[in-house]
């Protein structure tokens, strides 16, 4: 993990190349550093950090920051295998316009992970080669990992429910 | 395929002569040779004995040749990550253990490690060593199970029984230490639940790790001279290391292609820097190397366990902070304070200040990361496990394209996907 100074230097580098408002903020605690950026700069930011040595994208995952707005967060955990060092890039998009540029074309590992975020949080990755649900059934409605999605209460589709006219979507 | 060499000295047998005398009528466009116009798309799975779980593969075939492959997953999705958000931090452990069901100690470790770093808990040295012992036993156990079932896939059935016999010894050790053979809930936030038992646990463990190299050598003897198995392993499924890195592949698969990357060495956690062990590497990155790397890893794990047992420090096995760890049972009868702490922990759990972090450990299948987000309450706002199988599975198409369908089964086995972890 970069120290707080190293993290600020990385954030400063991103500001210099992408504009002052590209970086929303940085957070550093207990050896874990993350940089929050504006969603539209994600591809450029990851490309810049790749030049800095962070060539391995170890994880892409989502989170719901409910009740804070914008709610839906996407985290990109980058790794520099030579030093070794990690840094997280984070972005947030609102629920009513959850669009993020896909990084799967330049980082193939993001393919399934972006599909998972799309499936469970409903973040739409523009430019993804094959954006479909991955874990939930294709005809499922809703995005279950969102914080306002209730736990339980899921109708289970057994044959005796079919007789009652009960289906997944209801 | 080359003709078997004649070892009897009597020349070709009658059967061989008969076989060679048969001429096949010329086929205009023999299947399996070059791109034919007719491609066949078939389903493998989700219920297929050789897919190691409910994995469905959409395979596009050109005769015997795999032209394209798409994994379809989600058949085992149980929403564990969602359920985690409804449990206090310390009650999440048994849930995450059930994701990758062959690496339960690692799942628990990834989670508790992440929470410990989020809260800032210093784990006692003895607990760290006990964790290392159990994780490395688990790594051997996972590799043994992988080895047995994979050999079954490539036609070597007897190895399943030999590897499961060794695995049984490890499960017995787990049972003595924690009461459970699988999903042990042994790791707690702040340490481990109990010290290892007296009555010969250490001796049994020592005897096992002392014998393991002999067993691994026997495994090698059985499989390395098996022509049928070698046909499916040697030179099959090669993907170059840069492509593997781009696909996010880690663990034995990456090391088989010659990249020295092991989180136990690169970013040591839980006192791994106290031990001396090697990181086995492959040369070409074919299926054979993947097998060889895992077999060698078992021997290295045995070395780590031996060193950890030798250097096992005295001291507590769980942190002395009553806000995060349950008080010892005997104190409940005498101490009102212990009773209150116990009550608070069991009913509400402990609260964690808002924050988030991702930390990773080296699981048997690669980088096993855990992202935990705290919102100030006693339940995590988000728990995400970056399961190594989930990411590694993306490489299956690259490994199988252009190969035979029989190689697909072997390559899939060498990929070692655990569907419980992939679907979560």
What pLDDT score was predicted for residue A1?
58
pLDDT bracket for residue A167 (50, 70, 90):
low
- pLDDT higher than 90, residue B371: yes
Please give the Cα distance from A88 to B319 (Å, whole number).
29
What pLDDT score was predicted for residue B110?
93
Q: Give the range among A155-159, B52-56, B331-335 with minimum mean pLDDT.
A: A155-159
Out of B82, B386, B393, whose CB is closest to A58?
Answer: B386
Consecutive H or E run containing A24? strand A23-29
Sequential DSSP letters for B236-272 = -S---HHHHHHTT--THHHHHTT----HHHHS--TTG
What pLDDT score was predicted for residue A138?
83
Please give the Cα distance from B57 to B74 (Å, whole number).
12
Percent of chain B with pLDDT over 70: 92
Q: Give the range among A16-30, A32-46, A63-77, B105-119 with minimum mean pLDDT.
A: A16-30
Q: What is the mean pLDDT of residues B184-209?
A: 90
Nearest chain A residue (CA) to B360:
A58
Residue B10 DSSP one-character state? S
Nearest chain B residue (CA) to A114:
B391
- pLDDT higher than 80, residue A168: no
pLDDT bracket for residue B3 (50, 70, 90):
very low
- pLDDT higher than 70, residue B88: yes
Q: Say if the Cβ atoms of A112 and B394 lie within 8 Å.
A: yes
- pLDDT higher than 90, residue B132: yes
Nearest CA-CA distance, residue B203 and chain A, Å? 38
pLDDT bracket for residue A156 (50, 70, 90):
low
pLDDT bracket for residue B256 (50, 70, 90):
very high
**Beta strands A99-101 and A124-126, pairing class:** parallel
What pLDDT score was predicted for residue A170?
45
Domains of chain B: 14-72 (no CATH), 80-320+350-423 (1.10.645.10)
Nearest CA-CA distance, residue A16 and chain B, Å? 26
pLDDT bracket for residue A157 (50, 70, 90):
low
Question: Which residues in chain B are closer than 8 Å to A145, comparing Cβ atoms?
Answer: 81-82
What pLDDT score was predicted for residue B226?
83
- What is the model's pTM? 0.87
Out of A81, A84, A151, whose CB is closest to B86?
Answer: A151
Q: Are A110 and A117 in contact (CB under 8 A)?
A: no
Q: Give the range among B24-33, B82-91, B230-239, B399-408 with minimum mean pLDDT.
A: B24-33
Question: Which residues in chain A are closer than 8 Å to B261, comparing Cβ atoms?
Answer: 81
Burial-class residue B109 by CB neighbours within 10 Å (0-12, 13-18, 19+): buried
Q: Say if the Cβ atoms of B118 and A151 lie within 8 Å.
A: no
Please give the Cα distance from B278 to B296 (Å, whole number).
9
Out of B74, B367, B384, whose CB is closest to A136?
Answer: B74
Paired tokens of A34:
């993350």
Nearest CA-CA distance, residue A109 and chain B, Å? 4
Nearest CA-CA distance, residue A84 and chain B, Å? 7
What pLDDT score was predicted for residue A94?
92
Sequential DSSP letters for A95-159 = TTS-EEE--TTT-TTHHHHHHHHHHHH--EEET-TT---SSS-TT--S-TTSTTSPSS-PPP--H
Nearest CA-CA distance, residue B116 and chain A, Å? 10
Q: What is the mean pLDDT of residues B164-176?
A: 92
Burial-class residue A19 by CB neighbours within 10 Å (0-12, 13-18, 19+): exposed
Q: Say if the Cβ atoms of A56 and B373 lie within 8 Å.
A: no
Residue B404 DSSP one-character state? B
What pLDDT score was predicted for residue B24?
56
Please give the Cα distance from A135 to A116 (Å, whole number).
7
Q: Say if the Cβ atoms of B394 and A108 lie within 8 Å.
A: yes
pLDDT bracket for residue A169 (50, 70, 90):
very low
Percent of chain B with pLDDT over 90: 44
| Interface contacts (A, B; CB < 8 Å) | 95
B325 C-beta neighbours (distance < 10 Å), count: 22
Q: What is the mean pLDDT of residues B111-117?
A: 92
Q: Give the range among A77-81, B47-51, B65-69, B318-322 with minimum mean pLDDT.
A: B47-51
Out of A32, A59, A112, whose CB is closest to B369?
Answer: A59
> Mean pLDDT across chain B, nearest whole number?
87
pLDDT bracket for residue B360 (50, 70, 90):
very high
- pLDDT higher than 70, residue B208: yes
What pLDDT score was predicted for residue B22?
64
Nearest chain B residue (CA) to A31:
B117
List the one residue out of B214, B209, B215 whose CA is nearest residue B275. B209
Consecutive H or E run containing B374? strand B366-374
Q: What is the mean pLDDT of residues B20-42?
A: 61
Q: What is the mean pLDDT of residues A29-55?
A: 88
Burial-class residue B393 by CB neighbours within 10 Å (0-12, 13-18, 19+): buried
Q: What is the mean pLDDT of residues B224-228?
A: 84
What pLDDT score was predicted for residue A116?
92
């Amino acid at each position: 993990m970069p120290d707080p100074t190293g993290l600020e230097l990385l954030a400063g580098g991103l500001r210099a190349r992408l504009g002052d408002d590209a970086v929303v903020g940085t957070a550093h605690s207990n050896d874990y550093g993350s940089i929050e950026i504006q969603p539209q700069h994600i591809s450029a930011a990851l490309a810049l950090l790749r030049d800095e040595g962070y060539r391995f994208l170890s994880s892409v995952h989502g989170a719901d920051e409910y009740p804070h707005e914008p709610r839906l967060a996407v985290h990109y955990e980058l790794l520099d295998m030579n030093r070794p060092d990690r840094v997280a890039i984070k972005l947030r998009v609102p629920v009513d316009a959850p669009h993020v540029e896909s990084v799967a074309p330049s980082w193939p590992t993001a393919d399934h992970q972006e599909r998972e975020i799309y499936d469970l949080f409903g973040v739409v990755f523009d430019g993804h080669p094959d954006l479909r649900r991955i874990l939930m059934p294709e005809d499922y409605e809703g995005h279950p990992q969102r914080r306002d999605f209730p736990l339980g209460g899921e109708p289970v589709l057994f044959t005796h429910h079919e007789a009652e006219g009960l289906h997944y979507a209801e | 395929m080359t003709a078997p060499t004649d070892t009897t000295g009597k020349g070709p047998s009658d059967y061989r002569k008969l076989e060679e005398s048969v001429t096949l009528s010329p086929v205009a466009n023999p299947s399996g040779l070059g791109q034919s116009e007719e491609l066949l798309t078939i389903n493998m799975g989700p219920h297929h004995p050789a897919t190691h779980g409910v994995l469905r593969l959409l395979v596009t075939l050109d005769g015997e040749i795999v032209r394209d492959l798409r994994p379809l997953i989600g058949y085992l999705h149980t929403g564990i990550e969602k359920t985690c958000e409804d449990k206090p931090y310390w009650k999440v452990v048994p849930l995450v253990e059930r994701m990758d069901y062959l690496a339960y100690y690692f799942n628990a470790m990834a989670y508790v490690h992440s929470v410990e770093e989020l809260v800032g808990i210093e784990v006692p040295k003895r607990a760290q060593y006990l964790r290392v012992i159990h994780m490395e036993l688990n790594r051997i156990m996972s590799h043994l199970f992988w080895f047995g079932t994979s050999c079954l896939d490539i036609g070597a059935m007897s190895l399943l029984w030999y590897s499961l016999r060794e695995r049984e010894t490890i499960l017995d050790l787990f049972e003595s230490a924690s009461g459970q053979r699988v999903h042990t809930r042994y790791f707690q936030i702040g340490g481990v639940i109990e010290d290892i038992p007296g009555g010969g646990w250490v001796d049994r463990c020592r005897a096992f790790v002392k014998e393991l190299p002999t067993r691994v050598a026997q495994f090698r003897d059985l499989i390395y001279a098996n022509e049928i198995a070698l046909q499916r392993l040697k030179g099959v499924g090669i993907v170059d290391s840069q492509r593997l890195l781009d696909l996010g592949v880690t663990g034995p698969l990456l090391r088989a292609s010659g990249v020295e990357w092991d989180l136990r060495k690169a970013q040591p956690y839980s006192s791994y820097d106290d031990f001396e062990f090697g990181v086995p590497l492959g040369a070409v990155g074919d299926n054979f190397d993947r097998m060889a790397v895992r077999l060698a890893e078992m021997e290295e794990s045995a070395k780590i366990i031996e060193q950890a047992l030798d250097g096992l420090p005295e001291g507590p096995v769980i942190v002395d902070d009553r806000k995060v760890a349950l008080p010892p049972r005997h104190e409940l009868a005498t101490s009102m304070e212990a009773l209150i702490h116990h009550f608070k922990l069991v009913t509400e759990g402990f609260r964690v200040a808002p924050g988030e972090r991702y930390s990773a450990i080296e699981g048997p299948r690669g980088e096993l990361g855990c992202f935990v987000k705290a919102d100030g309450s006693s339940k995590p706002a988000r728990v995400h496990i970056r399961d190594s199988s989930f990411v590694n599975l993306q490489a299956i198409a690259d490994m199988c394209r252009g190969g035979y369908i029989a190689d697909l089964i072997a390559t899939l086995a060498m990929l070692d996907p655990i569907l419980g972890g992939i679907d979560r």
